[in-house]
Amino acid sequence: MAGYDYDLFVIGGGSGGVRGARMAAGTGAKVAIAESYRYGGTCVIRGCVPKKLLSYASHFHEDFEDAAGFGWTVPQPSFDWAKLIANKDKEIDRLEGVYEKLLKGAGVEFYHGHARLLDAHTVEVGEQRFTAKIILIATGGAPSFPMEPGWEHGISSNEAFHLEELPKRVVIYGGGFIAVEFAGIFNGLGSEVTQVYRGPQILRGFDDDIRNTLAGEIVKKGVNLVVETTIDRIEKREKDLLVHLSDGSEVECDLVMAATGRSPNVHNLGLEEVGVELARNGAIKVDEFSKTTVDNIYAVGDVTDRINLTPVAIQEAMAFVDTVYRDTPRAMDHADVPSAVFSHPPVGTVGLTELQARERHGALDIYRSTFRPLKHTLSGRDEKTMMKLIVAKDTQRVVGVHMVGLDAPEIVQGMAVAIKAGATKQVFDATVGIHPTAAEEFVTMREPIPGDQAKAAE
């Protein structure tokens, strides 16, 4: 480490940065990390963790209703938004403390403040300067805001976690996973929700059966879904907001939330000045080993805009440590990464969409089942589950698993192991199902859909 203050300096204290720092320190390297906001990053502080806590809360209104079908008499429930947010904040504070404790326990020196590069080996944090042999950028991403007039009156997902009160009427702009998740959260907690999306169907990039099934279900739950429409402007009135849509209609509301995408956090990092090349969207360009165009500078996670998921950032960080500090170079395998959307009902998916599979494998066998979950035979709720297997016809390998319905993320996590292992449809068929569960449907679908009927569910 001659001539350097640290072997490794990590910029960004989210899941990828913290994992990289801790694991590198575990090899004996002297490591420091800097974070400008709170340790834990987007996922822990204002992303997947608090969002799922709010999602749990929003499910209870249906649970109270469903209980009657099972013989329970439930008094009229009431909801306290302030109490939910306070409890959520307490848990996030606890998790942030856990992250800092883990760093301290690993021997990592951590700093609070914005870090930027002065040269390829020098980092400035506030008024302090440090040198490092290797630098890892893990600064994540941030919400992108629309440019149309009036958006200064709107919020992003960041602010949604800190609202002082639950809005009665909400307009959510966007059709991706963040948009559909918050539409479900606000709708479940009692808000009147309008979701506006410019495309023909929500969840662009997901399998069409997922997109169409979920759209139908969220509309049944009361979300007013408006597609092929944009927001032209937002008008601030004395007591509320008036949203002007491209079709000429107007929506009165108390809150407008933008969920129109995220951008890599690269502002004021000094990257281009030291020769780190950026993509057109601002993402840091890296090779398969997460190395940038500067030999000693690496980047992982959302700031590279590969697959923007917390577990992917963690795996990329682990591959970085193996490559740089354990003398076992390896690239993160970005194939068949499972993901979930904590919508209402939730989505789980792994592998190829039907469109991707047809482009890559040609002839396919498609297995699809839509049914009413056992729970709702007594609850009386009109909610369907959709499950789908995509099989390459020539090899009979299962190349895609998709589900909309209760416990979809929990179920598909197990399916992801089978997909990663290269399981064939015959392996699925030979697997005994657990009865009675929804998950058993994945191993009991026997007949593929006839070719002329194998189009996405309407």
- Residues classed as catalytic: 435
Are 14 and 42 spatial neighbours (Cβ–Cβ below 8 Å)?
Answer: yes
Strand-by-strand arrangement of the 250-253 sheet: 231-236, 241-245, 250-253
Beta pairing partners, 195: 172, 225
- Give the integer Cα–Cα distance in Å for 91 and 96: 9
Long-range CB contact pairs, 122-128, < 8 A, 24+: 123/9, 123/11, 123/34, 125/34
- Compute the chain's Rg from CA coordinates: 24
Judge contact between 24 and 2, C-beta under 8 A.
Answer: no
Give the CA diameter of the chain.
73
CB atoms within 10 A of CB 249: 10
Report the alpha-carbon distance of residue 11 to residue 18 in Å, rounded: 10
Residue 434, classed as helix, strand or coil, is coil
What contacts 334, CB < 8 A, 6 or more positions away? 306, 307, 312
Q: What is the DSSP string of 111-156?
A: EES-EEEEETTEEEETTEEEEEEEEEE---EEE----STTGGG-B-
